[in-house]
Structure 1
Amino acid sequence: MVKSYLRYEEAATFGLVVSPESNVEFDSSGKLLIAGALEQLARMPTSTSLVAAGYADGNIRIWDIIKGTCETTLVGHKGATTALRYNKSGSLLASGSKDTDIIVWDVVGEAGLFSLRGHRDQVTDVVFLTKGKRLISSSKDTFVRVWDLDTQSCIQTVVGHRGEIWSIDVNVAESYFVTGSADPEIHLYRIDNEAEEESIPQDEDKEKDSNLGTTKGKWQVLKNIGNIRRGNNERVATIRFDASGTLIGSQVAGKVLEVYSVADYADATRRMKRRIKRKKEKAAKASDRSGNSEGKSQEEVTSEKDEIISSDVLHLLQTIRMKHKIRSFCFSPSQAKKGMIGAIAMALHNNALEVYELQESTASRLHSVEFAGHRSDVRVARLSQDSTLLMTASHNAVKIWNPQTSACLRTVETGYGLSGLFAPGNRHAIVGTKAGTLEIVDIGAAERCKVVEAHLGAVWSISPFTDGSGFVSGSADHDVKFWEYEVVQATKQLSIRNTRTLRMAEDVLAVCLSADAKYLAVSLLDSTIKIFFVDTLKFFLSLYGHKLPALGMDISSDGALLVTGSADKNIKIWGMDFGDCHKSLFAHADSVMAVQFVPNTHYVFSVGKDRGVKYWDADTFELLLTLEAHHAEVWCLAVSSHGDFIVTGSHDRSIRRWDRTSEPFFLEEEREKRLETMFDAGLDDGGHIPKEDIPEEGAAGVAGRKTQDTISAVDSIIEALEMAESETERLVAHKKEKKSDTKGAQFKPNVLLLGMAPDAFVLKAVSSVRPSDLEQALLMLPFMDALKLMGYLKGWISEGTQVELVCRVAVLLLQIHHQQLASTVAARPTLTSLHSALKEGVQLLKDTIGFNIAAMGHLQDAAVKVLEIRKKLAKRKGAPEPAPKVRGRKKKKQSKAVEA
């Protein structure tokens, strides 16, 4: 009989306010602040609740933040999504990725329109120009590219940046464009929305204009008007205009945020005139002194063009310095209060959010969200004996959680915690710190009640006795110490007392006691594991095999097995009787940080720096599950007393709970899933042209990529076509038989068609394909099957069902197989009939939509007229407004006044 196991799935994520890699955005009203939890976010500029989030696997999900549901998933990028931006109407979404591609998505149709290729490195930011239907993108390759969305081509490449470009933005009027890079300056450009094709000779197309810093071409959309020297030399991480376009925020990859004021056209013109006037005066003075032999003459200064430059537009308003590094910021779109020029929200590196009010010269903190999680890595995770409490520790605090509700119960300031446990009764917790102390925390009072100078080095590990009498600590000072609990009679507080000390030759990295308190396992820095008898501290076994030190280990509940996880990426399973190595498993792609048995079983969980959590069977030495959710190194692991859930803590500051479900799984199924994942990762580039064949000015490609879902969609369409064809042949044969024999047997339809007609069954298979995967699915459809599919399009259009889907399928098939269709004589009747049918079907749908829009407009006009009539009637009657309700004598006086 095949053995089955119960699956573990992620149940909760807590302790995270904002992830270091994500950005923050206000909603359109300015009342909600959206923070990314380990993902990128893009705010929709309209008054809607939809938010786009980009993930590390390249997928983009559209979320409804009010319902809390995922509306759609867009699959196209092969690398992590690094940039997202909506256009003003919210109908288009542009995304950039580490795979150097830019994809423009149709949000309404939930499909990719096209991809733009030309950048040679990661795309860092994108922004739409609504007036000219253009898109501007920046990359780490130091180039800014302007794309025409109609022709899907690059029309301008902006050069001149000496370092990587990290952020770009456009003001609301689309008159100015600004870039933030590794350069010590902010580059400011004027946007020419009226740029048209110029008659430039062919040999001058690629000449560089040193004054503009751009490449001459047929269009000049961006024109450089100068650079502004920043007050900080670190690279710019984010640069943004506010909603009104009067402020610019420049945030560096550090603790500084610079706020610049943007002058309007009138102020910029006045500054320009004053600047030119001062130049003329200086030139006149210089010519008088030198007799026109040195410096510019007044005629040369007068002949200069009166153009606005960057110093006329931008002016440094103030510099905000934070205590912690700033990861991202955003301006509030709501109107500023009196005495304020705006509000700004910042996501900090220490897992906190802060909102500041901006005045002319100062900034004051308005709100702060910092209570939920740790300010740095979660290095310790430990459950109480009954698994009702969870203790986590970081560099400066210990937090007590309810693991079921994810609520933070207590926060206590401590030293840098590296290990810990709960004392019996769950009223106190012991924390081993980096400084070598053991700190006793009173959970009820939420305070550190005692600090014991226990070791001279970091306390890397603590292991409790099963009877609750004490614990063992291992430290970098080569000591393993045994401690007993005691209560101080004077203060009635818990204390600890050192009873025995075991001196080792190397640093102690981990200690572990067996369940029967018979054996003590000690992991040393020399990559060996030594086992001692607890009662006599006599040496029992020495385990050799790891190439690097074992960072975590655990003994099974029955005392039969010892599992160790090492920095050499391996897990070894040892027998406790003779110290023989049962199996060595290559477990993780990086160091194994912690391993732990599920109580009363031989199942093992392991975590590592490769961000993975793995589930093993120590009897069969099989990998059961791989749980992937963390975005950084996983430092710690805790398994509940019944094995019904586990808790992991990570460098990404998140704490995740994984629950055991009632869903069984089999090893063969999991192996097949892992193979499918590997196959999915190794698929081709989804129709993209090779990077070495990309022209200098950029090119367009197919949006989307091949995945296992698209392959499954193609298989389902082909299967539906075959079943429909065979069913149609059976129907034709039955009709012929019925003509010859009127009393023949009744036709029995195929059960697999679910009671539908053949064409309806094919339409169901096509409509079940995800819109973002439809193009890739049709690309993989063979030509003969494409011809069969086109034969059904006319019937679907005439029925008026799913006209938009049918038109999209027809257009895609014509684009993909244009040459073969043009040279195939048998396809001409289908194309001819399809042309007229598509035109009639689209026109009918257009008329219906127009009629509905006109009816809605008529209703709106009627409602406005009714309101106007009511207002006029109210004015003619002269009815007074109802008096407010007032109690007592005031009410009588007011009523008499109203009567008078």
Structure 2
Amino acid sequence: MVKIYYKYKPQRIFGLIYSAKPSIITSSKFPELIITPALENIFVWNLQKGELEKQSMGIESEITIMALSPDSKTLATGHQNGVICLWHSHSLECICKLFGHYSQISALSFNHDGTLICSGSKDTDLICWDVVSERGLFRLRGHRDEITDCKFLKKKNWIVSSSKDKLIKFWDLDSQYCVHTIAGHRNEVWSFDIDNDENFLISGSNDQKLRVWFLQNLLENSINEKEIEKEINPLNTKIVYMGEIIKQSTERVIKIRFVRNAKYLVCQTSGKKLQIFKVRNQNEVEKKMIRTQKRKIEKLKKLEKLEKPQKQSQENDNENDEKKNQQLITLKFANLITIRGSSKIVSFSIPEKTQLEIRKGKVKSKSKMKIILGLNNNSIESYELKFAEKANEQIKTKLKKAITQQGHNSDIRSLKISHDDNLVGTTSSEAVKIWSISTAMPLQTIDSGYGLCCLFAPGDRYFIIGTKNGEIQIFDFLSSKLIESIEKAHLGAIWTMDMNPDGSGIITGGADKCVKFWEFELVDSVYENENENENENENSKKIKKRNKSKSIEMEEENENKKPPKKQLTVVHSKTLKVSDDVLCVRYSPKGRYIGVSLLNSTIQIFFADSLKFYLALYGHKLPAMSMDFSSDETLIATGSADKNLKIWGLDFGDCHRSIFAHDDSIMQVKFVPETHYIFTASKDKTISYWDADSFEKIMSLSGHKAEIWAMDLNSNGTFLITGSHDKSIRVWTKSDEQFVLQEQKENELDSLFEDSLIQDSEKARHLENFLERNDENAVISESKTAAKKSLETYKGAEKLLESLELIEKIFGSNDDFSEKDFSIPSNNPLFMGLSPSEYLLKIMMEIKSNDLEEAILVIPFTSALRLLKFLHFWIVNKNQVELSLRCLLFIVKVYQKQIVSNKIAVSLLDDLQIPAKNSISNLKDLVGFNLAAMRFLQNQVEEVQGKIFKRKRKKKTEIEIEVIDTNECNYYNECELCLTHFIDRSCGWCNDSSSCFSGNYSGPFNQSCSQNSWFFGPDSNCSGPPPPSPPPSPSPSVSPSPSPFPTNDCETYYNNCALCLQHYYDRSCGWCYWDSKCYYGDNNGPIGTQCETNGWFYGPTSYCYIPSPSPSPSPNPTTSSSSDSIGAGGVAGIVIGGVLVISVIIIVFLLYRKKRNSGLKTFPVAEETQKIIDN
């Protein structure tokens, strides 16, 4: 009879925060979210809340590196097996998988528009991928060791890559060859970066120096004719070594990056330090050089040696350019601060978003930088760097937030499921954690010793652990306290612990060659009594102050005394001494036997009641690390460090079967309750499922990326939980999916066959590389195809061959192939009612874009010749032209010699010359027409909405917020745009004229708007003259939506427009122009008010103006002809405002001249504002 089994599948993973890989990402659009790799998953953390927002699952291989596209929409992950996955960054859905590398991905980078990806791997290859078509473009070969970093250039279509072979290479993507090589390092180049202007390249190695290279001449588009005539070596002239930056840490560089528009340089080393350098601009460097020269001259004047040393220094400067360059680099890159993490720093990220704050109605830029660190102890830290506003002040660093509670900082050494199967307790070297299995969230975290074993006491309130230093610690996780610690419970480490089946006590085994028995007892709570005594002392002091009579105090104290509370403890009852260290002890399920595993590789069985010796099990070559009894007490299974699983009978102690179960030591063995099924966990990162009756392997569970230390099953065997060295906790549940062992064996054989195919292709590649490097006459090609042979490639090739053979069987051989008509639908049911041409095209489109070329390469030439006929048919009929041309060009490239000697193929290619050109031109025209239509629609939308999709920012020097030219407020001719400048208040809305005017923090420049009606003025009470003749408005009776603010009393609570303005974002309150009052509401408008939708200021359909029969006045008072809107007061206001503006400009101009002449540092302003002041 065939035996049916049920599959165990992974359900969830928790306990991970950051898997210590050099990738941690923050998005400029969502600065509060952090994207971290969590082994094979992607986690999105909310830094403010400290909670996990999203997570992805489904990829088996571990993530080694991540990269985010410039528009923050696409996330790329590189994996251990060489696969690159593209994800939607918001939904974390996998878009596609890219196969091309043969080893783990070590470098990833997007280009400036996010359409290309460059990836580097341990296989020394560099591959350029097309994100849009989801395929590899080409493979660049030239490095001889692992690629450590790569980056696209903007000025030229180039890629820069660094490697462990001590080289930095520049690759031209057009010619697909290396054009320049920097060989200035003596050790491995671990990272590099290029500034935004692409003038400087900074590279880091194993030493204490960061090397700086000047690239401006290299990236110039024009080439000097004199250089061409002289044939100067471009390596010596176009890349200039400028000097070096000395970093504080002596450890090797991990990552170098320019941040905040290349104003700062951040260097991460392999230790706990993160060093930040200030990158000075050209003006600052010149000022610094002038100051240093002045100081030198002053020193020389004091020494009365001004003339001779000055001439010598000029001669030395002319002779030695290296000193000049080094001096320039020293001045340009100034050490700013060094941040020290609590543990080793693995990765860092700095959000680019600028923070703003408003104080007393004024906008001030926060001179702060947020730095997020990913540490190797499974934690994330966020630091806030506050820059000094004055020269004498120091830069302040503050730890703002840390995510540490959601996981252990070290290995999970043991775990135990509670008796009710709702909780799981885990131990590590620093803490004990109690988790909820249903929510995968930590309930309690308590500091503890190095826990090696653990269990829940009866009632699941107390958690008991055995530590490495021989202590037994008891925790009350409801009160989050260590209630008792029994020191020297063993004289060595307590390796194992188990509970008596009747729940009366526990048994422990340690390195002191003793097995000790402990019984549970309830004693008075020490901690509760201490707390009560403290409370009583405080109460007695208060009573003494109020009542002076001592007799009354004693009576009240006696009345308030409560009976002492009880707490759990363990009392040593007896000891069993053995011949060697105890590694594992277990009670049998019925409590008849006790199994003891010793360091001498033997297992001894004792009677539980009398502790008499019963059986000795010999056979393991190394000590048995774990063992377990079956529920019927007929079998005992032992797992050893010799990688063998042995199944013994308890009647005579005979070994039923010895199975080579794993590739490394077996750490845990568990029987499924009421069955003879066994789970084993090993150091080889896998879990195996066995049948102890048939001695066959049922299935294997893989997912952990490091050694598995702990495992436990629930009371009925429906799920198991494992803990590993990778700091993850995984839950595996029993599914309803049934299978037979024969099916599982066939699947395993298929997977082995797939692995062998991949290994064969890798061996062929290594052999090819070896022959090329050792053959002196061999011509090494630096560019090859990007795709590689994978399982998907073979599947696609098989489908293509089957379809071509099917067509050949029906329509004949190659001789009559060119005379057949393949557009007629076939009656064959295999074609599914399609014509042969449509059927083959469907098969071709099902093959992934990245595997198409490799699939065509696998098929023989005869099949490729048949395919050529269909490609001719598709191109002529303009059906999938792009796909057809791509396949045609690849076939011609690969089978060029065979095609030339074949008449049919030559005639087909001759016939395709004109149709192919016409198809390409038509396709190009179609794309251009669609692009023009999209731009037209974009312009229409911009005109309707008044929004600009891509607003160009003005050039900035030092300030990080956009400076608005408030003199041209006509640009903000709609209130919606005017409202976007609520923060800087450079523009404001006027209730008098229902127009937008320029202004400052005090009010409008245009005095045609009265002060009270200026909405954004700090003194405004929003009670300007109401609009003329408002029409009657309906009063809908709609219940208000729930809001976190007390919006039901909006008229009294938000009785000021300034308070109402604070709730612009949640729109829980809004100002009504019709009656100049504040009302509560929701996103759609006011609720239960007398304000109509058009007058509701914060409604999404609001036009922010009141329809008026009279025309609105012009923003320019000199051109206005309406005497009613301006009047005498308006003219006086205009004159006063003009005088104030002119006086302010004069004062700023004088202060600027004074500071520039005195040599003091000027305030950073925008270039356009600076030009206005200079003029």
Q: Output the CA distance in 1 between the equivalents of 2:907 and 2:915.
A: 12
Cα offsets for 1:603-651 (capped at 9, x unmatched) = 2222222222222222222222222221221111112222222111111
Q: Output the CA distance in 1 between the equivalents of 2:971 and 2:212.
A: 54
Residues 452 and 684 of structure 1: CA distance in aligned 2, closer, same or farther (over 3 Å)? same
Equivalent runs, 1:425-440 vs 2, <5 Å = 425-440=459-474
Q: 2:594 aligns with which of 520, 523, 529?
A: 520
Aligned twin of 1:412: 446
Residues 277 and 799 of structure 1: CA distance in aligned 2, closer, same or farther (over 3 Å)? farther
Q: Output the CA distance in 1 between the equivalents of 2:788 and 2:837.
A: 28
Cα offsets for 1:818-844 (capped at 9, x unmatched) = 232233332111222333333222222
Q: For 1:363, give the aligned amino acid.
A: T
Q: 2:851 aligns with which of 752, 773, 792?
A: 773
Offset of residue 219 of structure 1: 8.6
Aligned twin of 1:181: 205
**Partner SS for 2:100:** coil
* Structure 1 contact 172–243 (Cα < 8 Å) conserved: no
Q: Output the CA distance in 1 between the equivalents of 2:866 and 2:75.
A: 39
Equivalent runs, 1:153-192 vs 2, <5 Å = 153-192=177-216
* Structure 1 contact 384–426 (Cα < 8 Å) conserved: yes
**Partner SS for 2:190:** strand
Matched, 1:137 2:161: yes
Q: For 1:349, give the aligned amino acid.
A: N
Aligned twin of 1:67: 91
* Structure 1 contact 617–623 (Cα < 8 Å) conserved: yes
Offset of residue 797 of structure 1: 3.1
Q: For 1:223, give the aligned amino acid.
A: V
Q: Output the CA distance in 1 between the equivalents of 2:478 and 2:16.
A: 24
Aligned twin of 1:374: 408
Aligned twin of 1:318: 337
Residues 433 and 37 of structure 1: CA distance in aligned 2, closer, same or farther (over 3 Å)? same
Offset of residue 198 of structure 1: 8.8
Aligned twin of 1:546: 620
Q: Output the CA distance in 2 between the equivalents of 1:835 and 1:558.
A: 81
Aligned twin of 1:252: 269
Unaligned runs of 5+ in 1: 208-215, 737-745
Q: What is the identity percentage for the equivalent residue pairs of Structure 1 and Structure 2?
A: 37
Aligned twin of 1:741: none
Equivalent runs, 1:486-505 vs 2, <5 Å = 486-488=521-523, 490-505=564-579
Aligned twin of 1:788: 866
Q: Output the CA distance in 2 between the equivalents of 1:768 and 1:893.
A: 60
Aligned twin of 2:81: 57
Q: For 1:651, give the aligned amino acid.
A: H
Offset of residue 247 of structure 1: 0.7
Aligned twin of 2:756: 679
Q: Output the CA distance in 1 between the equivalents of 2:379 and 2:625.
A: 31
Cα offsets for 1:563-605 (capped at 9, x unmatched) = 2222222222222222222222222222222121221222222
Moved more, 721-730 or 453-462: 721-730
Q: For 1:723, give the aligned amino acid.
A: L
* Structure 1 contact 152–700 (Cα < 8 Å) conserved: yes
Aligned twin of 2:963: none
Moved more, 439-448 or 667-676: 667-676
Q: For 1:335, give the aligned amino acid.
A: T
Moved more, 309-318 or 682-691: 682-691
Q: 1:826 aligns with which of 904, 919, 927?
A: 904
Q: For 1:620, give the aligned amino acid.
A: S
Q: For 2:508, give the aligned amino acid.
A: S
Q: Output the CA distance in 2 between the equivalents of 1:798 and 1:641.
A: 69
Aligned twin of 1:640: 714
**TM-score, normalised relative to structure 2:** 0.70
Aligned twin of 1:814: 892
Q: For 2:28, give the aligned amino acid.
A: S
Q: 2:386 aligns with which of 359, 362, 368?
A: 359
Cα offsets for 1:460-494 (capped at 9, x unmatched) = 11122222222211111111111222222653111
Aligned twin of 1:740: none
Residues 864 and 408 of structure 1: CA distance in aligned 2, closer, same or farther (over 3 Å)? closer
Residues 771 and 534 of structure 1: CA distance in aligned 2, closer, same or farther (over 3 Å)? same
Equivalent runs, 1:630-779 vs 2, <5 Å = 630-667=704-741, 668-685=745-762, 689-694=768-773, 699-729=782-812, 749-779=827-857
Q: Output the CA distance in 2 between the equivalents of 1:892 and 1:237.
A: 57
Equivalent runs, 1:611-630 vs 2, <5 Å = 611-630=685-704
Cα offsets for 1:726-785 (capped at 9, x unmatched) = 34459x99xx9xxxxxxxxx9972212222211111111111112222222122121111
**Partner SS for 2:631:** coil
* Structure 1 contact 198–219 (Cα < 8 Å) conserved: no
Offset of residue 863 of structure 1: 4.0
Aligned twin of 1:461: 496
Q: For 2:938, give the aligned amino acid.
A: Q
Which of structures 1 and 2 has the larger relative contact order (alpha carbons within 8 angstroms, sep 6+)?
A: 1
* Structure 1 contact 123–138 (Cα < 8 Å) conserved: yes
Q: For 1:676, give the aligned amino acid.
A: F
Residues 747 and 13 of structure 1: CA distance in aligned 2, closer, same or farther (over 3 Å)? closer
Aligned twin of 1:262: 279
Aligned twin of 2:509: 474
Moved more, 787-796 or 501-510: 787-796
Offset of residue 260 of structure 1: 0.6
* Structure 1 contact 474–481 (Cα < 8 Å) conserved: yes
Offset of residue 243 of structure 1: 3.5
Moved more, 275-284 or 712-721: 275-284
Q: 1:445 aligns with which of 468, 479, 482?
A: 479
Aligned twin of 1:4: 4
Offset of residue 656 of structure 1: 1.0
The structure that has the greater radius of gyration is: 2
Aligned twin of 1:243: 260
**Partner SS for 1:164:** coil
* Structure 2 contact 25–68 (Cα < 8 Å) conserved: no
Matched, 1:334 2:334: no
Offset of residue 872 of structure 1: 7.3
Offset of residue 278 of structure 1: 8.1
Q: 2:251 aligns with which of 234, 240, 259?
A: 234
* Structure 2 contact 772–780 (Cα < 8 Å) conserved: no
* Structure 2 contact 257–265 (Cα < 8 Å) conserved: yes
Q: Output the CA distance in 1 between the equivalents of 2:340 and 2:779.
A: 41
Residues 879 and 747 of structure 1: CA distance in aligned 2, closer, same or farther (over 3 Å)? closer
Q: Output the CA distance in 2 between the equivalents of 1:25 and 1:525.
A: 47
Q: Output the CA distance in 2 between the equivalents of 1:807 and 1:57.
A: 32
Aligned twin of 2:1059: none
* Structure 1 contact 41–51 (Cα < 8 Å) conserved: no
Offset of residue 862 of structure 1: 3.5
Q: Output the CA distance in 1 between the equivalents of 2:297 and 2:287.
A: 15
Q: For 1:476, give the aligned amino acid.
A: A
Aligned length: 878
**Partner SS for 1:683:** helix
Offset of residue 281 of structure 1: 10
Unaligned runs of 5+ in 2: 40-62, 357-364, 388-394, 525-563, 947-969, 976-989, 997-1012, 1016-1021, 1024-1049, 1057-1070, 1078-1105, 1109-1124, 1126-1175
User: What's the RMSD between the two structures over aligned residues?
Assistant: 3.6
Cα offsets for 1:189-215 (capped at 9, x unmatched) = 22231177799999x99x9xxxxxxxx
* Structure 1 contact 728–758 (Cα < 8 Å) conserved: no
Matched, 1:839 2:917: yes
Residues 877 and 47 of structure 1: CA distance in aligned 2, closer, same or farther (over 3 Å)? same
* Structure 1 contact 161–183 (Cα < 8 Å) conserved: no
Aligned twin of 2:52: none
Compare the two structures and name the one with the higher strand fraction: 1
Q: Output the CA distance in 2 between the equivalents of 1:195 and 1:543.
A: 80
Offset of residue 129 of structure 1: 1.1
Residues 410 and 801 of structure 1: CA distance in aligned 2, closer, same or farther (over 3 Å)? farther
Q: For 1:671, give the aligned amino acid.
A: E
Q: 1:90 aligns with which of 89, 110, 114?
A: 114
**TM-score, normalised relative to structure 1:** 0.90
Matched, 1:194 2:220: yes
Aligned twin of 2:1046: none
**Partner SS for 1:165:** coil
Offset of residue 68 of structure 1: 2.3
